[in-house]
Structure 1
Amino acid sequence: MPYIRVTLSDPGLPAARRTALAKGLTELAVSALGKDAARTTVQLHAVPGGQYFVAGLPVGDATGAHVEVSITAGTNSAEEKARFIAGAYALLHETLELLPPLTGVALHELHPESYGYNGITQLDHYRRASRTAEARSS
């Protein structure tokens, strides 16, 4: 159940590019991290260019971007996470075109007891799924 937050320095980014970015990150969560698209949320947060700095300087004509992804700890390998980071950077470069010299992607791994959705922790979701699988195999 990844929650993907993207901070952009371009509040005037056309809707088609925003949609492409959201769809691309969702598809990447599925292909690189093995996540369920139906449970993947992408939030785009646009800020004025004068509020986005790299090395203490505004990014200027470039579109600054930083991606943060919340995932459940222990559900992905180092290789999967590296594939997501590389893919996210490539998607940002393709979708936003001109990027500043520093564009970050961070994966935050949250313990299943401290992370959840629809009022239920991930740990409880895993327990319920396990009981359902056991009941089906009986």
Structure 2
Amino acid sequence: MPFLHIRIAGRSLTYAERLHLQDEATRLAATLLNKRAEATAVFIEETNAEAWTVGVRRQPAAGYLEVTVSEGTNTAEEKERFIAAAYALLEEAVGAPLHPVTYVIVREVPMESWGYGGRTQESRRIAMAA
């Protein structure tokens, strides 16, 4: 259940900031996408600002957040609320206004195509239904 991949460019996060970002991303997945916090994984990467452009312009600070969830488990409204809240979380993390072309992606994967602990999400769904 969900995997969140966050990329931050243009600043280095402190240990406390990284923990806060992981905690808040997990909270958003749990509260806005109705995912189990105990089964939510968050991976944060940092890169130099010069690695990030929008159009042909370098950005002083940038961010990207992608969450992978099982296909069909969230409504359009839930995803819209998550995207808005995740964008605000990215702005908080970089400590500056972000370029409007800052992406938050909700990637939906068929249940039979992903999983954790050696089991697919589809096998978990079937077991719970039985």
TM range (shorter): over 0.9
Aligned to 1:80: 78
CA distance in 2, matches of 1:15, 1:52: 23
| Mapping of residues 17-96 of structure 1, within 5 Å | 17-60=17-60, 63-96=61-94
Q: Percent identity?
A: 34
Aligned to 1:98: 96
Structure 2 unmatched ranges of 5 or more: none
Task: State the secondary structure of the residue aligned to 2:74.
Answer: coil
CA distance in 1, matches of 2:87, 2:20: 14
Determine if contact 1:17/1:96 at 8 Å carries over to the other structure.
no
Partner AA of 1:106 in structure 2 = I
CA RMSD of aligned residues (A): 1.2
Q: CA deviation at 1:93?
A: 1.9
Q: CA deviation at 1:11?
A: 5.1
Task: State the secondary structure of the residue aligned to 1:113.
Answer: helix
Number of equivalenced pairs: 129
CA distance in 2, matches of 1:120, 1:89: 31
Q: CA deviation at 1:118?
A: 0.9
CA distance in 1, matches of 2:22, 2:51: 22
CA distance in 2, matches of 1:99, 1:108: 25
Cα distance change on mapping 1:84 and 1:22 into 2, 3 Å: same
Determine if contact 2:33/2:79 at 8 Å carries over to the other structure.
yes
Partner AA of 2:90 in structure 1 = L
Structure 1 consecutive aligned stretches of length 4 or more whose deviation exceeds 4 Å: none
Partner AA of 2:92 in structure 1 = E
Determine if contact 1:54/1:100 at 8 Å carries over to the other structure.
no
Determine if contact 2:8/2:94 at 8 Å carries over to the other structure.
no
Task: State the secondary structure of the residue aligned to 1:98.
Answer: coil
Determine if contact 2:2/2:69 at 8 Å carries over to the other structure.
yes
Determine if contact 2:64/2:90 at 8 Å carries over to the other structure.
no
Cα distance change on mapping 1:91 and 1:100 into 2, 3 Å: closer
